[in-house]
Structure 1
Amino acid sequence: MTDPAPDFEEFVVGCGPRLIRVAWLLTGDRHLAEDLLQTVLAKVWPKWHRLADNHPEAYVRKALVNTHASWWRRRWRGELPHGELPERAAGGDPFAAVDLEQSLAAAVRRLPARQRAVVVLRYFEDLSVEEVAMTLGCSTGTVKSQASRALRTLQSRLPVDEQAWGGERRVRS
């Protein structure tokens, strides 16, 4: 058996930023995302000689979703931290983009695990419905229905303000 180290190293360097982003979107925490990705890469390493030629990035994304789901199922959920966001000052808000990003990220993290996985893969990773279905091991109809439910939930949690914001519709927190 040949040493998979060089190919694996190239893969991690090339795809690492995208994979850490997927992990962060799934976990909502940079440190947990790094732990999740490291755990998955440690699982993939021994199988690398079989995976290297068969879309390893898709395999690793699916492993990220599955590993995160197993972590999520084991986690104690006795407390759910939440807080009120302060009211915004009138006029132009120099931190509007950051507020929007944080509000959206928080709303995505509150979605059920399956819906969050669909949203992350479909809209943040820009995968097609078919690719998401293949990654999650479900039908395209399931992907569409989960995406629809997730978007409806996000819309209800992030009411839209009709004021123009950078040429786009602005979300109120």
Structure 2
Amino acid sequence: MGWFLGLGVFGLLLLVISLVLDGVLEGAFDGLGSLDGVLSLPVIAGFVSMLGFAGAIVLGTTGLGPGTAAVVGVGAGAGAGWLTWKATRALMRDGTVSVPRGDDLIGTTGQVVTAIPADGYGEVLLYRGGQPVKYAAKAAGPVARGAEVWVESVLSPSSVAVRPVGP
């Protein structure tokens, strides 16, 4: 049972190493073509640790021998490795969310937090990517603090042109 527990702990250490080194060792398997990703360090760590811990559980709770415990451990390790591979592939290709661009602000509404004078800049609070962001704002005429505004154009990465909503 000591060997199986040792494999389980070794697998957990491999997982910690893969988290700390963050992909430094991933290039070792780049030339293997279709096995790229299947032999990543997190997948190997999941396989080895599950093999060890599942084998130790089978050996410690049943009267079966080390051979059967190893077979069960390999099966459980293969399952854990496959799930780790699928999870990392899903996380790596999560590219559906686009990065907000400045032009995405056009047509959005916000609130004036610093009054906008007729000949200068004030500040408005807009929501970009779901987060509140304060922008310098310019308007054709004066706009009071607390007024709701609509973004007409983006002047720079940190400033917008607005107009009051309503009369």
TM range (shorter): under 0.3
What's the TM-score, normalizing by structure 2?
A: 0.27
Q: Could you say which structure has the greater relative contact order, defined with CA pairs below 8 angstroms and 6 or more residues apart?
A: 1
Task: Name the structure with the higher helix share.
Answer: 1
Compare CA radii of gyration and give the structure with the larger one: 2
What's the TM-score, normalizing by structure 1?
A: 0.26
Task: Name the structure with the higher strand share.
Answer: 2
